[in-house]
A and B are shown apart, each in its own frame.
Chain A
């Protein structure tokens, strides 16, 4: 039943997105290249409130020879694995309402979302979920995908716009919104509980027994949901189908033993410090989990959100030398003084660069790094916190060399949408067809893939 369900979901996703898995088409060589060597991954990451164009994009130089300005300067160590875009548009039609919320929804799904006050919903499927379901390169791991966020549980910017932490959507409106896990310790348990320490130790025997007992629980849960499904009206059965699908995933995870190797081990997380150091520490803890999950091949698809798209987190304690204003990020992003909002975006770039450098320095397969085997997209919902525009989006991509992603250059998008970039990325993962709203996609964007 599980495989049938997976097939059904996959077909449904593909049908909805207008995509298809590449067979022996002209791009089959892409797949062959991608299938060789280490596993391939996708990391979709978002930070809020856009950026400042003059400090994000290189000012001068050429498409392949450029200097990174202030905000993006932390990416200097991974500049040779970096892909920037000139004049890239967030998918949007005249008449769409909403800004931050609909902006981040469109960025990852390529479609219109409806504001629900604290987030957006719609029928769109985000690029990470689409590829997790449909790419032959991303299947077969313990978890089909993982969603993480580093915004705090409460306080400014956390509780207030929690819905805008969501960047992964499985389709189907509200219930398709995939809330990210913000607790590193819980995420650690959820991800690494199945990692065996190897050998025939007593510890392994205990783990095997725990799996056996948990399997019995899961079997009962499937039975309970199936019995209930038989009694509910047809209109309600999809709710239980979704739960059964989730239980199938949990069962697969329970039954899969990942043996620890020299490279793969369960991360050791330091306690979160609280206070002004919390946000960066929480981000770094999530980075440990992302890297660890990729190295252990527990999942090949991760989405990560630094903070909700309309975050009001205060930074005067987090980076006191750069930000004196006690207002939240959202208010500062609307300030005419660009210095402090630039400092906040640079803070996020600096943090994210730490993960990218770590991935670059992590061997992964023969002669390749973890970054080479991972397509990393670093996105946001609007182009500029003050203007809320949707053109010239400050998006950067990294890595993915083994998947054919162009490296160390600036691609002129000429006003085309992010959907065209996602269409190219889909091709790299062996999935053809256009991504997102058909009216807002033209096809693969030249220059994204080599």
Chain B
């Protein structure tokens, strides 16, 4: 067994999808509609809409969950049939649906290296597929092109593996006999399939070996490997339970210990279960809550796992937009490719520091920024030398808003040439408060709106136009205020006092529709961050986003009490390790609803 190493599990380019794909999928399912208020008349997210499933109620220091929906007691429950009353949750609902989930190409590569000790070309199912990396369970299939590429990859990989049969096969340098090959199948292939093989499956693979053996033992083993690496048993993760037949719609299945092990390992490690998880799946102990929690804790302590989860947070927060939407090189020659690369790493370093050495509230109050000499010069921070990023506690007020004053975050959601009220606003609206689905405006409507103002109008002037234009204001009034509060930062996230016309920047706005604790006039990023840091809705939204990545399924409409419990726990603890532990050890994680 090879040591696990999962480089490149997540792609920094993901955020452009992350921001758009779930929205698009919702639009596909429901048809384009206009903007609706994110909350009902009582300030609660609409249960039938796309808001988060917990009430957007500001935390009271003495009662962090004013509705009594968590913290010290269980959430109110309801049956899973029929509409749920406001604030209620479904007690029996699983955290995800029963499904099969295709390995991403990085996962495929990792499993091959982990189980067979061979590094293969990263383009497995397609040449740089643009779709699979999102990694929702239903976002990737095996079409004709994928199948052809799997065939090519499997042939190349199997050819590599049989170059050194002695290290591959359990019988070492001896010519493999049937017993040796069977042992290989029952051990190595089982690890590749992430479950023991049925006897019939073993027999099938041995028959392939026999067929190839007429040419040579190497050919026989190669046939097994070519088959395994293209098999549905390999390319699909299963979360369907033990049953031998298709489970009935409306029922619930309990995952096998091996499926639980895979669900944990692919989320945390981007690969198949390691030796410890495998052993506990084999003896069945993994299904006991204590053992599963211990395993999750063991994994959460691993630097590689923390790196993976930090990358997940970077996806959630859209840092990849730094690369996907590069800055105008003519306007910002000082923002070199090296500075751009360093800024992305700076953002990731902030997330890592906050997630693993801090609390969720640090997301909105930390003054720490990771800088090297080039970035420090760019952002006007003295005293930093060298090319390595180092943590700096910046004392100026404009860098005291945690995430919202991180140069990486501000730059990621700005336009290539200037600040960006719309996209910075959408970032907060979608990623931090889980606002309702906003349909994209028609291209012609955007053009008409832009044509109504001079081309050199400031962001504030455009925002004022949208606020007064009936065809714009319905949607923009929900997220523009968040962007306006960040107006004092330019396209690179540098603090600025005046706009392009030399006028003092007005960063005041009024937030609406987000509920008590968030709504109301706000002035500047620091004030916005302070308000978000105390809103229960924001903590719930963090859980919603990270659980969507963990579960491969959009949880914005998840009404399960299982997810509510995770949210309750996170709202109390503010601890990211606790969030992941409570999610993976939840009873709802070990079952799947059949839909």
Known interface pairs A213-B212, A239-B142, A249-B144. Does A153 touch B246 (Cβ–Cβ under 8 Å)?
no
Q: Does B397 contact A (CB under 8 A)?
A: no
Closest to B233 in A: A224
Say how far A29's CB is from chain B's closest CB, in angstroms. 33
Return B136 CB to nearest CB of chain A, in Å.
9
Q: Which chain B positions have C-beta within 8 A of A186? A: 127, 149, 152
| Shortest Cβ distance from B325 into A: residue | A160
Determine whether the beta carbon of A162 is less than 8 Å from that of B128.
yes
- Cβ < 8 Å to B, chain A residues 372-390: 388
A-facing residues in B1-45 (Cβ within 8 Å) = 13, 16-17, 19-21, 24, 27-28, 32
**B66 part of interface (Cβ distance < 8 Å):** no
Nearest-neighbour CB distance to chain A for B267, whole angstroms, equals 19
Q: Is there a chain A Cβ closer than 8 Å to B340's Cβ? A: no
Contact check, A95 vs B442: say whether CB atoms are below 8 A apart: yes
A152 (CB) vs chain B CBs: closest residue: B128
A-B contacts, 30 listed (Cβ < 8 Å): A94-B444, A95-B442, A95-B444, A97-B442, A99-B443, A114-B27, A117-B324, A119-B131, A121-B24, A144-B144, A162-B128, A165-B130, A179-B127, A179-B129, A183-B123, A216-B211, A217-B230, A224-B232, A224-B233, A232-B100, A232-B246, A235-B595, A243-B147, A245-B144, A246-B142, A246-B143, A246-B146, A246-B148, A247-B147, A327-B330
Q: Could you say which residues of chain B place their CB within 8 Å of the CB of A183? A: 123, 127
Q: Which one of A63-71, A170-178, A264-272 contacts B?
A: A170-178
A355 at the interface (CB under 8 A from B): no
Give the chain A neighbours of B16 by CB distance below 8 A. 117-118
Q: Do B19 and A175 touch across chains, with their CB atoms under 8 A apart?
A: no
- 19 more A-B residue pairs beyond the given contacts A174-B140, A181-B126, A231-B245, with a C-beta to C-beta distance below 8 A: A95-B32, A97-B439, A117-B17, A118-B16, A166-B130, A173-B28, A174-B131, A175-B141, A179-B145, A189-B152, A217-B230, A221-B230, A224-B231, A228-B233, A233-B249, A236-B99, A240-B100, A245-B144, A246-B144
Q: Is A277 an interface residue (CB 8 A)?
A: no
Please give, as numbers and ranges, the residues of chain B lying within 8 Å of A170 by CB-CB distance: 143
Identify the stretch in B54-62, B80-88, B235-243 within 8 Å (CB) of chain A at 4 or more residues: B235-243
Pair B246/A231 contact, Cβ less than 8 Å: yes
A315 vs B539: C-alpha distance in the bound complex, in angstroms? 47
- With an 8 A cutoff between CB atoms, is B283 at the interface? no
A237 within 8 A of B: yes
Residues of B with C-beta under 8 A to A161: 130
Q: In the complex the two chains form, is B223's CB within 8 Å of A228's CB?
A: no
Shortest Cβ gap from A325 to chain B (Å): 10
Closest Cβ of chain A to B418, distance in Å, is 16
A244 to chain B, nearest CB (A): 9
Q: Which one, B152, B215, B231, B441, contacts A220 given CB within 8 A? A: B231
A36 part of interface (Cβ distance < 8 Å): no
Given the known interface contacts A236-B99, A239-B100, the answer about A220 and B208 at a Cβ–Cβ threshold of 8 Å is: yes
Whether B127 contacts A175 by the Cβ 8 Å rule is no
A209 close to B215 (CB less than 8 A): yes
Rounded to whole angstroms, the CA-CA distance of A94 and B324 in the bound complex is 28
Q: List, in ascending order, chain B residues with CB within 8 A of A123's CB.
A: 28
Task: Say yes or no for B98: interface residue by CB 8 A criterion.
Answer: yes
A176 to chain B: closest residue by CB:
B143
Docked complex: A212-226 residues within 8 A CB-CB of B? 213, 216-217, 220-221, 223-225
Most buried by B among A147, A163, A165, A213: A213
When A97-B439, A237-B246 are in contact, do A228 and B145 touch as well, CB less than 8 Å?
Answer: no
B219 near A: Cβ within 8 Å? Answer: yes
Is A182 located at the chain interface by the 8 A CB criterion? Answer: yes
In the complex, whether A234 has a CB less than 8 A from a CB of chain B is: yes
The complex places the Cα of A220 from the Cα of B323 at a distance, in Å, of 43
Q: Which residues of A contact B28 (CB under 8 A)?
A: 114, 121-123, 173
A50 at the interface (CB under 8 A from B): no
Take A96-B442, A216-B208 as given contacts and tell me if A114 and B24 are in contact as well, using a CB distance cutoff of 8 Å: yes
Q: Is B594 an interface residue (CB 8 A)?
A: yes
Instruction: Evaluate contact between B141 and A234: CB separation under 8 angstroms.
Output: no
Q: Which of B151, B330, B444 has the most CB of A within 10 A?
A: B151
Separation of A203 and B577 alpha carbons in the complex (Å): 60
B552 interfacial contact with A, CB 8 Å: no
Of all chain B residues, the one with the shortest Cβ separation from A120 is B24
Please give, as numbers and ranges, the residues of chain A lying within 8 Å of B445 by CB-CB distance: 95
A233 x B440 contact (CB < 8 A): no
> Please, how many angstroms separate the alpha-carbon atoms of A164 and B230 in the complex?
27
**B226 in contact (CB, < 8 A):** yes
Q: Is A190 a contact of B148 with CB atoms below 8 Å?
A: yes
Choose one: A159, A176, A225, A227; the contact of B128 (CB below 8 Å). A159
Nearest A residue to B235 via CB reads: A243
Query: Given A118-B130, A240-B232: A250 and B148 within 8 A (CB)?
Result: yes
The CA of A223 and the CA of B152, in the complex, are separated in Å by 20
Q: Which of B445-482 contact A (CB under 8 A)?
A: 445
Residues on B with C-beta less than 8 A from A221 are 227, 230-232
- Among the listed B151, B243, B324, which residue makes an inter-chain contact with A160, where contact means beta carbons less than 8 Å apart? B324
- Cα A231 to Cα B128 with chains together (Å): 31
Interface residues of A (CB under 8 A from B): 94-99, 114-119, 121-123, 144-145, 147, 149, 153-154, 158-166, 170, 173-183, 186, 189-190, 209, 213, 216-217, 220-221, 223-225, 227-228, 230-237, 239-240, 242-243, 245-247, 249-250, 327, 388
Does chain A have a CB within 8 A of B244? yes
Question: Cβ of B21: which chain A residues have Cβ within 8 Å of it?
Answer: 116-117
Q: Which residues of B are interface residues toward A (Cβ below 8 A)?
A: 13, 16-17, 19-21, 24, 27-28, 32, 97-100, 102, 123, 126-131, 139-149, 151-152, 201, 204-205, 208, 211-212, 215, 219, 223, 226-227, 230-233, 236, 238, 240, 243-247, 249, 323-324, 329-330, 439-445, 594-595
Residue in B closest to A158 when the chains form the complex, CB atoms: B128
Q: Which residues of B contact A160 (CB under 8 A)?
A: 13, 323-324
The 5 closest A-B pairs by CB, nearest first: A163-B130, A246-B147, A97-B440, A117-B20, A175-B141
Residues A175 and B443 in contact in the complex (CB < 8 Å), given A180-B127, A186-B152, A221-B227:
no
Let me know if B246 and A242 touch, CB within 8 A. no
Are A118 and B17 in contact, with the CB atoms below 8 A? Answer: yes
Which residues does chain A contribute within 8 Å of B249, judged by CB atoms?
233-235
Q: Are A177 and B127 touching (Cβ within 8 A)?
A: no
Give CA–CA (A235, B145) in the complex, Å: 23
Of A158, A164, A165, A186, chain B has the most CB atoms within 10 Å of the CB of A186
Task: For the complex, give the distance between the alpha carbons of A122 and B128 in Å.
Answer: 21
- Which residues of chain B come closer than 8 Å to A144, judged between CB atoms? 144
Contact assessment for A242 and B142 in the assembled complex, using a CB-CB cutoff below 8 Å: yes
Task: Report B-chain residues with C-beta under 8 Å of the C-beta of A96.
Answer: 442-443
Q: Is the CB of B232 within 8 A of A225?
A: yes
Residues of chain A contacted by B240 (CB below 8 angstroms) = 231-233, 236
- Pick the most buried of A160, A165, A175, A236: most chain B CB atoms within 10 A of its CB: A236
Assess whether B145 is in contact with A147, with CB atoms less than 8 Å apart: yes
Query: Would you give the shortest CB distance from A233 to chain B, in whole angstroms?
Result: 5
Bound together, the chains give a CA A29 to CA B472 distance in angstroms of: 55
Given contacts A180-B127, A216-B211, A233-B99, contact A118 B139 (CB under 8 A): no
Within 8 Å by CB of A116, from B17, B147, B226, B329, lies B17
Residues of B within 8 A of A239 (CB): 100, 102, 141-142, 236
Name the A residues within 8 Å of B140 (CB-CB). 174-175
Q: Closest residue to B592 on the A side, CB-wise?
A: A233
Whether B141 pairs with A242 at a CB distance below 8 angstroms is yes
Q: In the complex, are the beta carbons of B246 and A233 less than 8 A apart?
A: yes
B227 contacts which of A119, A217, A236, A242 (Cβ < 8 Å)?
A: A217
Tell me the complex Cα distance, A178–B442, Å: 27
Contacts of A121 in B (CB 8 A): 24, 28
In angstroms, Cα B100 to Cα A158, docked, is: 31
Return the contact of B126 from the options A114, A179, A243 (Cβ within 8 A): A179
Establish whether residues A174 and B130, one from each chain, have CB atoms under 8 Å apart when the complex forms: no
Given contacts A117-B21, A233-B247, contact A174 B139 (CB under 8 A): yes
Q: Return the chain A residue nearest B594 by Cβ.
A: A233
A225 to B100, CA, bound (A): 12
The answer to whether B126 touches A97 (Cβ under 8 A) is no
